[in-house]
């Protein structure tokens, strides 16, 4: 596992399924990097001003400035006050003398606003007694382009910045480029902005748009950033942004985000759930710029060590439940997509975003995750016709075969190679894995054809064997072991991802079971891995854990894989899949278990 510390800059971030804006500087509103998914390279592609953009070093890709009555100002000259509208749209207010600037940065989202682009909307309020001419400036440097699966690799061709019909085009010099960006203003005739570009190894650009704010009045304008697989595609996206207009795009985006919101009746808890739900929705899921299809990934932020790889378990049991809470239509498409790309080898290891094997290693939970995900989708939506989809049916049969192949000859328990977090299993038979399989077998007996279903193991027999073979004495107490070899050897170290805390969710034990309660009490350690803290939301101390989450800083409010005792991010911040798990478990603790912080 690659662990990376969070960046030194407390970035603002936003994005849509097409592009991510993970590095918006809170001091001056500069955009240091823009990211995309690319199917052809099985990677994320990022444009930035410098190789060290994640830590805010070097020039930005896109920096706003302004000139008031001939005097140029940087937004770093006065404090920027930031808010996150609807838990996803970074907005700021900046005041200098009689001039107040308000800005909103957003990537359009919604049924009629789903565009591969972003908008930097700016408004100036003039509190003086005379009209003021204000020039908004955008300057930037294209100093770095990289592909990233987990480790960044720089493009080998030269960076290229050029002006085309009043817009700035950022790309590589190679004819067969993979992504291009167009930047321009919102007015007619090329956006109504004057443009200047500079050559060199790290080419630069500058756009200027002038507006007049009347005395006691205001003026508004916007700059657009549009993307495509090559320059013509980027310019076509720019034309769509201009045609629809930034005000309509912002209205549609706000309306669409409101439809995703969840409510618990507690404002602070609603913020925690919705913030992480939206992060999972947009950063755990993306559309590739070269084929427009959806892909599930661990996280699109460039500072997470696992990058844009994906495990079945994380995609189906962490990200998908959060999407299902807010958008059942997209959840259905993602479930079909996961089966199409990854269902050919259920639980066989870590995959690239397109389904190609990245790191083999059989995980029992991954094989069972497909049945659990289908069952949860049917329960939450009532759409039982999904099992008639050929790709769903094929995946469930493959999953059943792979699970059956792992059964012990004498005992109805199933073996694994790795734990759901990727670590080698201490013993072949794991508590969490067999709890998952028992529920998966229950689903398979209902969904497979009658003849095949008769050959599926009785899930109650698996649960009985689990209680019989995993219950063992440890420290003078009868506990559930985390793993066993069925030969008298047990391991009691609780796995952070496959924790014993999850057992009641899979109907393996009741929450009040005495052995279960002793077991989870023994794993109550100071917070370290956030996945285990999510599991504790379903345990006996759920209310206390909800209070801890409300106070935890996390990584700018989003999940981090490793945290300190107070909930601050230590490593692998910006974990989109884990944010999905956090959002769903917090929602479940309140709505299904009746817990209150």
pLDDT of residue 156: 95
Give 275-324 pLDDT, tens digit per residue.
999 999 999 999 999 999 999 999 999 999 999 999 999 999 999 999 99
Average pLDDT, the chain: 96
Q: How far apart are CA 24 and CA 12, in angstroms?
A: 5
Q: What is the mean pLDDT of residues 95-109?
A: 96
Q: Which two tokens stand for residue 34?
A: 């823009």
Residues 465 and 468: their CA atoms lie apart, in Å, by 5
**Strands, sheet with 180-185, edge to edge from the N-terminal-most edge strand:** 80-85, 89-96, 99-106, 117-126, 218-228, 180-185, 167-172, 159-164
pLDDT at 385: 95
Residues 499, 496: Cα–Cα separation, whole Å: 5
Q: 126-147: buried (b, 16+ CB within 10 Å) or exposed (e) per residue?
A: beeeeebebbbbbbbbbbbbbb
CB 318 within 8 A of CB 325: no
Please state the pTM of the whole predicted model.
0.97
Does the structure show a pLDDT above 90 at 187?
Answer: no
Any bridge partners for residue 213, and if so which?
132
The pLDDT assigned to 525 comes to 80
- The residue assigned the tokens 């590739």 is 288
What is the 8-class DSSP label of residue 379?
H
- 303 phi and psi angles, rounded to 5 deg: -110, 15
DSSP notation for 322-370: HHHHH-HHHHHHHHHHHHHHHTTSTTSEEE-TTS-EEEE---HHHHHHH
pLDDT digits (tens, 9 = 90+) for 366-406: 999 999 999 999 999 999 999 999 999 999 999 999 999 99
In this prediction, residue 367 carries a pLDDT of 97
CB 7 within 8 A of CB 303: yes
Q: For 410-425, what is each residue's pLDDT tens digit? A: 999 999 999 999 999 9
What's residue 597's pLDDT?
78
Give the CATH fold of the 267-591 domain.
Answer: Glycosyltransferase (1.50.10)
Numbered ranges of CATH 1.50.10.10 in the chain: 267-591
> What is the C-alpha end-to-end distance of the chain, expressed in Å?
33
Chain region(s) in the chain for CATH 2.70.98: 12-260
**Is it the case that residue 141 has pLDDT exceeding 90?**
yes
What mean pLDDT is predicted for residues 104-132? 95
Average pLDDT over residues 559-587: 97
Confidence of residue 193 (pLDDT cuts 50, 70, 90): confident
Percentage of residues in the chain having pLDDT higher than 90: 94
DSSP string for 130-157: S-EEEEEEEEEE--EEEEESSSEEE-SS
Measure Cα distances from 518 to 407, 429, 436 in Å. 28, 21, 21
Query: Domain spanning 12-260 has what CATH number?
Result: 2.70.98
Closest CA to 71 of 92, 37, 99, 106: 99
d(CA 16, CA 34): 11
Separation CA 255–CA 584 (nearest Å): 22
In the predicted structure, residue 188 carries a pLDDT above the cut 70 = no
Three state DSSP letters for 405-462? HCECCCCCCEECCECCCCCECCCCEEHHHHHHHHHHHHHHHHHCCHHHHHCCCCHHHH
φ/ψ of residue 109, rounded to 5: -150, 140
Q: CA distances (Å), 183 to each of 73, 101, 162, 234, 268, in order?
A: 21, 21, 11, 9, 37
Whole-angstrom distance, CA of residue 78 vs CA of residue 304: 32
More confident residue, 527 or 553: 553
Q: Are 209 and 136 in contact (CB under 8 A)?
A: yes
Alpha helices in 448-501 (DSSP H): 450-454, 459-470
Beta bridge partners, 487, equal: none
**Closest by Cα among 515, 497, 301 to 418:** 497
- C-alpha 100/C-alpha 585 separation (Å) is 41
pLDDT of residue 596: 84
Instruction: Reply yes or no on whether the pLDDT at 252 is more than 70.
Output: yes
Query: What is the predicted pLDDT for the residue at 556?
Result: 96
Please enumerate in sequence order all residues whose Cβ is within 8 A of that of 76, keeping only pairs 6 or more positions apart, or say none.
27, 28
Q: Is the model's pLDDT at 488 over the cut of 90?
A: yes
The mean pLDDT of 48-74, rounded to a whole number, is 96
Distances (CA, A) of 509 to 227, 261, 504, 505, 514: 51, 32, 5, 8, 10
Q: pLDDT-based confidence at 189, cuts 50/70/90?
A: low
pLDDT at 412: 98
Q: To the nearest whole percent, how much of the chain has pLDDT over 70?
A: 99
Which of 275, 355, 346 has its CA nearest to residue 317?
A: 346
Q: How far apart are CA 289 and CA 228, in angstroms?
A: 6
Give the mean pLDDT of 263-279. Answer: 94
pLDDT confidence band for 191 (50 / 70 / 90): low
201 SS3 class: coil
Confidence band of 2 (pLDDT split at 50, 70, 90): confident
The pLDDT of residue 1 is 65
Decide: 499 and 519 in contact? Cβ < 8 Å: no
| Spatial contact of 320 and 334, defined as CB atoms under 8 Å apart | yes
C-alpha 258/C-alpha 265 separation (Å) is 16
Cα separation, 144 vs 334, in Å, equals 32
Average of per-residue pLDDT across 485-495: 95
pLDDT at 526: 84
Asked whether 475 and 522 are in contact (CB, 8 A), the reply is: yes
């Amino acid at each position: 596992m690659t662990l990376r510390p969070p960046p030194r800059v407390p970035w603002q971030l936003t994005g849509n399924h097409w592009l991510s804006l993970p590095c918006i500087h809170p001091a001056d509103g500069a955009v240091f990097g823009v990211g995309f998914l690319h199917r052809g390279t099985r990677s994320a592609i990022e444009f930035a001003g410098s190789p060290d953009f994640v830590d805010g070093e070097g020039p930005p890709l896109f920096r706003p400035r302004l000139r008031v009555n001939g005097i140029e100002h940087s937004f770093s000259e006065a404090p920027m006050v930031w808010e996150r509208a609807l838990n996803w749209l970074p907005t700021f207010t900046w005041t200098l003398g009689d001039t107040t600037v308000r800005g909103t940065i957003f990537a359009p989202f919604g049924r009629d606003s789903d565009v591969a682009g972003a908008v930097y909307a700016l408004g100036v309020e003039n509190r003086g007694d005379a009209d003021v001419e204000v020039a908004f400036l955008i300057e930037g440097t294209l100093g770095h382009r990289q592909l990233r699966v987990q480790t960044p690799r720089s493009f080998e061709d030269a960076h290229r910045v050029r002006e085309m019909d009043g817009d700035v085009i950022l790309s590589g010099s190679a004819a067969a480029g993979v992504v291009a960006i167009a930047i321009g203003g919102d007015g007619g005739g090329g956006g109504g902005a004057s443009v200047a570009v500079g050559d060199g190894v790290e080419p630069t650009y500058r756009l200027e748009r002038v507006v007049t704010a009347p005395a006691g009045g205001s003026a508004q304008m916007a700059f657009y950033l549009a993307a495509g697989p090559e320059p013509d595609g980027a310019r076509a996206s720019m034309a769509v942004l201009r045609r629809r207009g930034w005000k309509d795009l912002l209205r549609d985006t706000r309306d669409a985000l409101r439809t995703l919101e969840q409510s618990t009746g507690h404002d602070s808890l609603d913020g925690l759930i919705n913030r992480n739900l939206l992060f999972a929705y947009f950063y755990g899921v993306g559309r590739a710029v070269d084929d427009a299809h959806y892909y599930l990934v661990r996280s699109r932020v460039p500072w997470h060590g696992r990058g844009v790889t994906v495990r079945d378990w994380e995609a189906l049991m962490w990200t998908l439940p959060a999407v299902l809470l807010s958008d059942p239509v997209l959840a259905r498409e993602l479930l079909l997509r996961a089966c199409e790309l990854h269902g050919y080898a259920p639980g066989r290891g870590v995959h690239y975003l397109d389904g190609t094997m990245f790191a083999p290693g059989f995980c029992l939970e991954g094989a069972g995750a497909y049945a659990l995900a289908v069952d949860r989708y049917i329960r939450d939506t009532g759409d039982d016709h999904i099992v008639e989809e050929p790709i769903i049916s094929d995946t469930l049969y493959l999953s059943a075969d792979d699970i059956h192949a792992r059964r012990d000859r004498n005992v109805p328990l199933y073996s694994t190679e790795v734990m759901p977090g990727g670590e080698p299993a201490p013993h072949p038979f794991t508590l969490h894995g067999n709890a998952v399989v028992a529920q998966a077998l229950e689903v398979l007996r209902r969904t497979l054809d009658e003849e095949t279903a008769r050959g599926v193991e009785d899930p109650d027999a698996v649960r009985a064997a689990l209680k019989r073979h995993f219950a063992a004495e440890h420290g003078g107490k009868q506990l559930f072991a985390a793993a066993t070899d069925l030969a008298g050897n047990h391991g009691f170290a609780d796995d952070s991802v496959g924790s014993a805390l999850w057992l009641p969710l899979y109907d393996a034990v009741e929450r009040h079971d005495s052995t279960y309660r002793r077991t989870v009490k023994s794993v109550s350690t100071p917070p370290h891995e956030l996945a285990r803290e999510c599991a504790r939301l379903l345990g006996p101390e759920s209310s206390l854990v909800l209070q801890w989450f409300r106070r935890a800083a996390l990584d700018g409010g989003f999940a981090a894989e490793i945290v300190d005792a107070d909930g601050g991010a230590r490593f692998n911040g910006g974990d989109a899949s884990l944010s999905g798990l956090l959002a769903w478990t917090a929602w479940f603790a309140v709505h299904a278990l009746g817990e209150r912080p």
